Amino acid sequence: KGRAAISILSAFTWDDVLSHNSADDELVLSTVLDDKLDQLLLNSILSLCEVSSNFWSKGSYFDDAESQQLYLAKLLGPVAVLLRHRKGMLKQFLETVSKRVGTQNTSETVVEIYIKAILMILKSKDPVPITSMIQQSDDLQKVLLSVAKSIETVVSGGPLAHLGGKLQHHVKTIC
């Protein structure tokens, strides 16, 4: 249900963007949505990531890194549109992920998916690049640098240290 809701809202968002011919500018939807809905969307997105960790941990189809990437791409495609065109949503997403990664009861598999999700969203170019939005906002750059540093600190010395370093490096190339 959550994935369907995200996809539907993403489709309406993208339609609104196209109708305003403003794919490169930050667009606030003409349809007024409130902060509670944004928070519900974020919680749904993060819950989908957490549920996905069950696929990783049980071994099977998702043991293959390429299959993991494909799955995350399908999951995060609609999410990228919302994060790019819902005012403040990317910042809120990054801060929420950072808090969840910093929580001691978050499993290693979930942390791995969160890091891969952030990387994939930052590299997203289709339908719109997120990096240009980040580069135009000092506030987003500060948040992103802080989140990357926080995540790298949490995973340093563990099996996800390389992935944390990769995130930190990618963020520094953007900011």
The pLDDT tens digits for 39-50 are 888 888 888 877
Reply yes or no on whether the pLDDT at 28 is more than 50: no
- Cα–Cα dist 171/114, whole Å: 15
**What are the φ and ψ backbone dihedral angles of 51, each rounded to 5 degrees?**
-65, -35
Report the chain's mean pLDDT, rounded to a whole number: 79
Taking residues 77-102, report their average pLDDT. Answer: 85
Q: What angle do CA 39, 160, 89 make, to 5 degrees?
A: 20
pLDDT of amino acid 143: 95
Q: What is the pLDDT of residue 87?
A: 78
List the one residue out of 39, 164, 37 whose CA is nearest residue 102. 164
pLDDT band per the 50, 70, 90 thresholds, residue 30: very low
Instruction: Give yes or no for residue 173 having a pLDDT over 90.
Output: yes
Q: What is the pTM of this model?
A: 0.79
